[in-house]
Amino acid sequence: MRQKAQPLTFVLVHGSWADAGFWDGVAAELRKQGHTVYAPEYPGHGADYKNTTATHAMMSKAVADYIQNHDLRDVVLVGHSFGGSVVQKAAEYVPDRLKRIVFIDGFVVKDGNSLADELPPQTAAFFGELAKQSGNGTVMLPFPFFRDAFLNLAPLDVAQKIYAGVKPEPGGPFTEKLDLKKFYALQTPKSYVYLYQDNVLPQGENYSWHPHMSSRLGQFRLIVGDADHMTYFKTEPKKIAELLYMAGRD
């Protein structure tokens, strides 16, 4: 960055088929710039991945509790992918502790909807079938889907390495209807980081990250970057860190 960074406090919330370690490279780059960075884990992920009945409510409350327990203030709260919906609910608990809410190709769920409602019907049906087949309600994406949708910019060996660390995702939170009236009443500033080679949701109007999801935020700051859904978080973390800084700064 050409000028000295304004020091910020980031709380980074990961998405599905990931854990807090997803942020390691990005967090390291942000810390090099003088920022304070936290990456909380939430139920059903990380060491708790065998907790297949973790609910969306448990996940969002865990993030809010983390912010309160660490007495964090002026937080730039970042949600990636499914983490966008977690951030929406967590923000309702701790609005006075937030400086800005940032979505990086994150779900901005419509009040009363579930995550499944925000997916193209064929994708929602695919996830539902995977949950049935698993025997315990979890969803594990097959490699060909994961590689083409989440890691489309990655060389094959990098995609295979990332996929090797993926754990099944609790399926319940995908179908939980979310009451988001408090979120949509928040006056907290918001930003949307759109990664324009992201292939998880179809490009265009009906289900896209931007402008479909982002436009629900009302007034928001838009930052765009050349990345897919997951690859550059691992291989080009400095680029992702720079996008998050632009999204979070004054």
Nearest residue to 194 (alpha-carbon basis) of 221, 163, 158, 216: 221
Tens of pLDDT, residues 6-40: 999 999 999 999 999 999 999 999 999 999 999 99
Helix 83-93 and helix 56-69, axial crossing angle in degrees, nearest 10 = 60
Across the chain, what does the average pLDDT equal? 97
In the chain, where are the structural domains located? 9-248
36-38/75-81 β-pairing: unpaired
Topology of the domain covering 9-248: Rossmann fold (3.40.50)
Q: Is the pLDDT of residue 1 over 70?
A: no
Spatial distance between the Cα atoms of 72 and 76, rounded to a whole number of angstroms: 10
Q: Is 221 helix (H, G, I), strand (E, B) or coil?
A: strand
Give the pLDDT score at 199: 96
Tens of pLDDT, residues 43-54: 999 999 999 999
pLDDT band, very low/low/confident/very high, at 218 (cuts 50, 70, 90): very high
Nearest residue to 12 (alpha-carbon basis) of 32, 26, 33, 29: 26
Tens of pLDDT, residues 56-81: 999 999 999 999 999 999 999 999 99
| Catalytic residue set | 81
Give the pLDDT score at 2: 54
Tens of pLDDT, residues 124-177: 999 999 999 999 999 999 999 999 999 999 999 999 999 999 999 999 999 999
